[in-house]
Amino acid sequence: MSEEKIDFLTFAMQLFAASVLGLLVLGLVILAVLYVIDVNQTRHTIRRNYPVIGRLRYWFEHMGEFFRQYFFALDREEMPFNRAQRSWVYRAAKNVDSTLAFGSTAPLDKPGTLLFVSTPFPTLSEDVCTAPPLVIGPWCRTPYEAPSFFNISGMSYGSLSSPAVQALSRGAKEAGCWLNTGEGGLSPHHLSGGCDLVMQIGTAKYGVRDENGNLSDEKLREIAAHQQVRMFELKISQGAKPGKGGILPGLKVTEEIAAIRGIPAGQDSISPNGHPEIHSVRDLLDMIHRIRDVTGKPVGIKMVMGGTDFFDLLCSEVRERGEWSAPDFIALDSADGGTGAAPQSLMDHAGLPIRESLPWLVDKLEHYGLRERIRLIATGKLVNPVDVAWALCAGADFVVSARGFMFALGCIQALQCNKNTCPTGITTHNKKLQQGLNPADKSVRVTSYAQHMVHEVGVIAHSCGVSEPRQLTRRHARMVIEPGHSESLDVLYRARHQPVRIVE
């Protein structure tokens, strides 16, 4: 080796050693600064008692949300959705084999577990018959013949990113289901895929408000002019926060979102707790009539059940006015939280879960003779076939899901929905994080998830001896009420509610 090469290698090694030494010195200086800061601050006990090392606690606490679901939680114990629930959605969305082997891992003797009543004479056809279209709003100038019993629930553009909304719109079109806009207004991204849309009107009237924030008939006509907009949903409350308006942090209010909503960019978007012009059942029915009269399209309400008095008042008022005055549908949400930001006290403890409220509402409408007039849409953690089949057994006409379709888009349950840091690009407006979400690719998964859901609920229906999902009734399912003992839903719900039908 020449002397010049030896000198160059010696210089390179000295330079590398000097760089390493410099980095070590810099690291020691940083540690010393952090040590001085920690021992002199008084806000955090752990950092004061264990300088520098105590800072790792916060990192572990944050990363635990991500690691827990992969390394520590069992398949069926995690909340809000366990690994078994998520895995079925992932497999369905990716169109891979969803069968299992070697027995169930579900605790079949746990109270609340659903057991479907298989028959010795199942439906012989291997082709699962889809439920026929169902008309919503027969009194409207433009009724909606809804093709699918499984649809996409309300998620606003703002809560979701533009690529996520585009993927949902394209996927819904291919699957033949509707997409609910959420309360953030109608955006070009909702329209981009050509799917049927349900325009949600929240308490802030985003997208249909005038300069003073009041409901605008002119804006309603503009929205209704879009043929894709098939229905309007007046949101009274939602599962994440009954009695609390929508919350979109200012860091997610981009210029485009602000323009669609009619609010300043960069400021928190806080919706009122309720509709300022609705203070009674009479006001509510008047508002429904106004929107239906202006748009000519079906109008319904979305809400979480908190008690029973409201529905008695609503049904009594409808009977007094006439069936035409009824909401065309009720979207009944579950008090299990949702995709939106919400106070923990409301998310955990306000409202009734769908497992209790849906059977009660079905029976209440039967009681007043309005069950055929008002279509029922169930929502709230209904992301797997067993959940959807239960809702149909309980009496729902349709089921909608938000978080199920988020999983189809690639959601990993990072619990970052209320921030701008979603690692999968679904609920963030950070362009760098959005780049991993390709609408063309993810729309295929949205379609596949919806199609697999419809198919597998049909498989359950065949096992119970009926030809299509909407023929499922309460007698086709049982619920475990104590270890070793289950009860037919038909008997269980009848015993709880004991409705007496009102006849004309």
Tens of each residue's pLDDT in the chain, 504 residues: 566 666 667 767 777 787 888 888 888 888 888 888 888 887 777 777 778 887 776 666 666 655 655 555 555 555 566 667 777 787 888 888 777 666 666 777 788 888 898 888 788 776 777 778 999 999 999 999 999 999 999 999 988 899 999 999 999 999 999 999 999 999 999 999 999 999 999 989 999 998 888 999 999 999 999 999 999 999 998 765 565 667 777 778 888 888 888 888 888 777 888 898 999 999 999 999 999 999 999 999 999 998 888 999 999 999 999 999 999 999 999 877 665 666 666 666 677 889 999 999 999 999 999 999 999 999 988 989 999 999 999 999 999 999 889 889 888 776 777 777 777 888 888 888 888 888 999 999 999 999 999 999 999 999 999 989 999 999 999 999 888 889 999 998 876 655 444 444
pTM value is: 0.84
- The neighbouring-strand residues paired with 487 are 479
Instruction: Please tell me the predicted confidence (pLDDT) of residue 167.
Output: 95
Q: Which residues contact 390 (CB under 8 A, 6 or more apart)?
A: 114, 355, 382, 477
Residue type, 102: F
Residue 188, preceding bond cis, omega within 30 degrees? no
Taking alpha carbons only, the member of 394, 377, 382, 355 closest to residue 450 is: 382
Tokens 């007046």 -> residue: 234
The total number of residues written for the chain in this structure: 504
Instruction: Please tell me the predicted confidence (pLDDT) of residue 503.
Output: 42
Taking alpha carbons only, the member of 364, 374, 237 closest to residue 311 is: 364
User: Beta strand pairing status for 229-235 and 299-304?
Assistant: parallel
Instruction: Please tell me the predicted confidence (pLDDT) of residue 5.
Output: 62
Tokens 């729309």 -> residue: 443
Q: Which residues contact 291 (CB under 8 A, 6 or more apart)?
A: 201, 215, 220, 232, 234, 299
Instruction: Please tell me the predicted confidence (pLDDT) of residue 501.
Output: 45
Instruction: Please tell me the predicted confidence (pLDDT) of residue 57.
Output: 67
Fold (topology level) of 134-497: TIM Barrel (3.20.20)
Instruction: Please tell me the predicted confidence (pLDDT) of residue 432.
Output: 85
Instruction: Please tell me the predicted confidence (pLDDT) of residue 348.
Output: 62
Tokens of 237: 């409350």
Instruction: Please tell me the predicted confidence (pLDDT) of residue 8.
Output: 64
Burial of 500 (0-12, 13-18, 19+ CB in 10 A): exposed
